[in-house]
Structure 1
Amino acid sequence: MKKGCILVVDDNKNVLSALRILLESYFQKVILLNSPNTLVSQLNDNRPDVILLDMNFSAGINSGNEGLYWLSEIKKFDAELPVVLFTAYADIDLAVSALKQGASDFVVKPWDNAKLVATLQSAYSLRQSRKEVKQLREKQTVINRELNRDKAFCWGQSETMRELRSLLSKVAKTDASILITGENGTGKEVIAREIHRLSVRSEEVLVTVDMGAVSETLFESELFGHVKGSFTDARTDRAGKFEAADGGTLFLDEIGNLNYALQAKLLSVIQSRQVVRVGDNKPIPVDIRLICATNRNLEQSVLNGEFREDLLYRVNTIHLEVPALRDRSEDIPELAEFFLLKYSGKYDKKGLTLSKNAIQKLKEYAWPGNVRELQHAMEKAVILCDGTELQADDFYLRKQEKKSPKLANMSLEDAEKMLIENSIVKNNGNMSAVAIELGITRPTLYSKIKKYDL
């Protein structure tokens, strides 16, 4: 089947006639030029897929410089366009020079028809492959932009958030590893996405991994990938999260939940910037920007022997602390208005406003679930309200229990154990409800239940 367009440039009319007869059987369109003077305009008008270019056009001159000149002009027009050079004088140095300047191949006259056709078809296949790669890259760029699109984000005007925003804008443009800490629901993942959006890698993908949800048995397969047959369910080769994030950003959420034994494997990959898929021994280089997040005090975890100190140094080049919402209550009205606008539009209740007593109620609440809890409270209030103004009674907030004085004398682990026990009793053993109330994933909850032997 005839495919593609070929442009042949040669000053010998007999050669052109012979090539027309030969190439019309293989190419959909054959364009012949007996002079390169109109070459650039032909490139514009016909957009050929392959060019067969003679090396010499002036009588008595056989240096090949003319061909090299026109090769450079073609490459200025389209650097990816395959050019096969054609000459009656076999010269190895000239061929090497042409290939260095971007020629796809070099054919000597008189030619062998089969070899010439094979060379030109190979050049055409190269052209199609380059087009496909370019299209895939463009498609991936569009997908990445959609995934990383500038989602609406409300910072607030408190001093702590202004300082955080200023620091973030400085470090985002670097490739430094960043550790984001803060309570559950403070917006650590949102901060990670904002860092990626402002970075030089923003055109590439951001890959998120919830370390608390990755089981120990599948840790290496999930993060580093595997080859077919490496274990029972490995039916095909599969890239891990590190490879998926190559060129972009890898966000490891809840890194403090990672098992101590697995931390050494993660550290090795972060240091070497290479992964080895499960069942393989070939290292694969990866170029990633690493962002980690946790609600734990990793320095204390190091002292307790639960987190590797060398891994902490690797992930903690820059430390960003996201404050709890109760510590920036002046931002609550702005955040509430932000979520009100979002959900009134989503549920077709445009024009909704917040009453003063509603704002006061929101400001007085402690928000143990932080911004995430405020967001859910606003969504629920918008759905259930009947009027055009949200009142204090439209917000169904958890009762604020007074802190037990016993907590002051408890260790962090004892306090965590007590909170989990109380939540299990309160929710009648419903682990999904317990996980939601505590702001952690179910795998993390089960891990803690096992840890505390509950």
Structure 2
Amino acid sequence: MVKQGTILVVDDNKGVLNALEMLLSGVFREVITIRNPNQIEGALESGKVDVVLLDMNFSAGINSGNEGLYWLSRIKGIAKGIPVVLFTAYADIDLAVRAVKEGATDFVVKPWDNAKLIATLLAAYRLNESRREVKQLKEREEVLKGQLAPEREVVWGESEAMRRVYRLIEKVAVTDANVLITGENGTGKEIVAREIHALSKRNSEVMISVDMGAVTETLFESELFGHVKGAFTDAREDRIGKFEAANKGTLFLDEIGNLSYGLQSKLLVAIQSRKIIRVGSNKLINVDIRLVCATNSDLPRMVREGTFREDLLYRINTIHIEIPPLRERGKDVLLLADSFLQVYGRKYRKPDLSFSRETRERLLTYSWPGNVRELQHTIEKAVIMCDRQELRPEDFLFKNIPEQVSVGETLEDMEREMIRQALERHKGNLSAVAAQLGITRQTLYNKMKKFNL
């Protein structure tokens, strides 16, 4: 017989406890016995008890069973879902029936029959496991509601650079290898992650996305690993984290370069062991995930500077996919522009729109510092504002970025200057700046801190 979980036995008779410990140790992985019911709360706080066997009388000379009812109520207050089986004498049957109405799972009459006792306790344990599975499914469903995105056709382009990327995606997707996707902001790192998931053997499960730049230090463990009720002030109920929600599927950690050094070690442990512990609990939970990470940061440089753990980089970087910026993809710009024009033409009921020849030339020669995301937003705005069937250059609002870069200027220098100019243009309105640059407010905060802006 495969041993089950943990049982807590509460009885003031030492002989009874010894006998039950011998009997039940062959059925349960762990048998905890206590004589003083005042120790119940401490035993339950460990979070590992799966079923309780509770005597109904503890004080000498008192056989009313009211003590059992009192401690049943206390147990339900501490851990509502834990099944409680009561020990009762023949004379307490009516009281035991009342206790069942008040939340007890079942009762066993003393002196007990070993086979019947084991059967009753295992039934209570399995009932609890079924409830727990249903609860976890409901929790997972809640997490997934915000993750499910409508499917849409992706235009990968015909440039050799993107052909190489897609060939690598096809090779990697069929494995469970950890993947690190890098590239500038707006190049489509999440789209690549979703394609890896779609082509993988896990595609019948969900892909869970986490913007690591938007996860605060204080909520990191709760967000990724979940928490139990009462773990902190606002923890009013149990909640699964992103690791559990992604079980059997893919976990996508975006902007992983924004994770603080202190939190990197906690993430590393979870990735290495594929086990997590909810905040407020000490119970290990196994998770089966395929890990995909993305960043626009230079992680090797961050390792050299001591701001990113080298062991974490090795762990997430089994396969590296670098997405080229849009300015290096040639006529892919026009393929993407035509695709977005169709999408937004349908959305805004302007299906007959087209680009003028001058517009197509301008789209090709513009440097697109915001990459595909900027192109998408630019096309949408132009479709909204245009009153003709042909989109002309004046219908577009291109960013005022210098076409020539001074010698020695790096991509980081350009990025800093773009953010500085945007802050000046929008007079410090961070929402407007983030919208123009095509990034989230949290990412903008992180970059402003990085560049001391």
- The TM-score bracket by the shorter chain reads 0.5 to 0.7
- Residue type of the partner of 2:171? K
1:234 equivalent in structure 2? 235
CA distance in 2, matches of 1:434, 1:321: 26
Which residue of structure 1 aligns with residue 365 of structure 2? Answer: 364
Q: Partner of 1:147: helix, strand, or coil?
A: coil
- 1:418 Cα shift? 4.8
**Partners of 2:303 and 2:183 in 1: CA distance:** 17
One-letter amino acid matched to 2:432: A
Q: Secondary structure at the match of 1:339?
A: helix
Aligned to 1:429: 428
Shift, 1:436, TM fit = 3.0
Contact 2:186–2:371 (8 Å) recurs in 1: yes
TM-score scaled to structure 1, two decimals? Answer: 0.65
- Is 1:397 paired with 2:383? no
1:164 aligns with 2:171: no
Q: Using the alignment, how far apart are the partners of 2:413 and 2:236 within structure 1?
A: 44
- Give the drift of 1:360: 0.7
**Is the alpha carbon distance of 1:422 and 1:340 closer, same or farther for their aligned partners in structure 2, counting shifts above 3 Å?**
closer
Name the counterpart of 1:244: 245
Give the match for residue 443 of structure 2. 444
Match of 2:310 in 1: 309
1:148 is displaced (CA, Å) by 6.4
Aligned residues of 2:178 and 2:319 also touching (Cα < 8 A): yes
* Aligned residues of 1:148 and 1:205 also touching (Cα < 8 A): no
CA distance in 2, matches of 1:219, 1:418: 31
CA–CA separation in structure 1 for the residues paired with 2:400 and 2:257: 30
Q: Give the unaligned 5+ runs of structure 1.
A: 1-114
Correspondences of 1:154-303 after superposition (within 5 Å):
154-303=155-304
Q: Match for residue 332 of structure 1?
A: 333
> Are residues 399 and 416 of structure 1, via their aligned partners in 2, closer, same or farther at CA, if it must alter by over 3 Å?
closer
The residue number in structure 2 matching 1:386 is 387
Give identity over the alignment, percent.
59
Task: Tell me the CA shift for residue 449 of structure 1.
Answer: 3.5
In structure 1, the residue corresponding to 2:185 is in which secondary structure?
A: coil
**Alpha-carbon distance in 1 for matches of 2:233, 2:208:** 26
Amino acid in the other structure paired with 1:436: A
Deviation at 1:378, TM superposition (A): 1.2
The answer to whether the 8 A contact 1:148-1:202 is kept is no
How far did residue 433 of structure 1 move?
2.2
* Equivalence for 1:52: none
Are the structure 2 counterparts of residues 385 and 410 from structure 1 closer, same or farther at C-alpha, using a change threshold of 3 Å? closer
Query: In the alignment, is the contact (CA less than 8 A) between 1:148 and 1:206 conserved in 2?
Result: no
Counterparts of residues 48-67 of structure 1 (less than 5 Å) = none
**Structure 2 unaligned spans of 5+:** 1-115
Aligned equivalents of 1:372, 1:335: Cα separation in 2 = 11
Count of residue correspondences: 323
Would the alpha carbon gap of residues 314 and 155 (structure 1) be closer, same or farther in structure 2, given more than 3 Å must change?
same
Residue 305 to residue 200, structure 1, CA distance change in 2 (3 Å): same
Structure-1 separation of matches of 2:420 and 2:357: 38
Q: 1:359 to 1:419 in 2, by over 3 A?
A: closer
Identify which range, 338-347 or 428-437, moves more after superposition: 428-437
Q: Alpha-carbon deviation of 1:355? A: 2.1
Distance 1:413 1:261, change over 3 A: farther
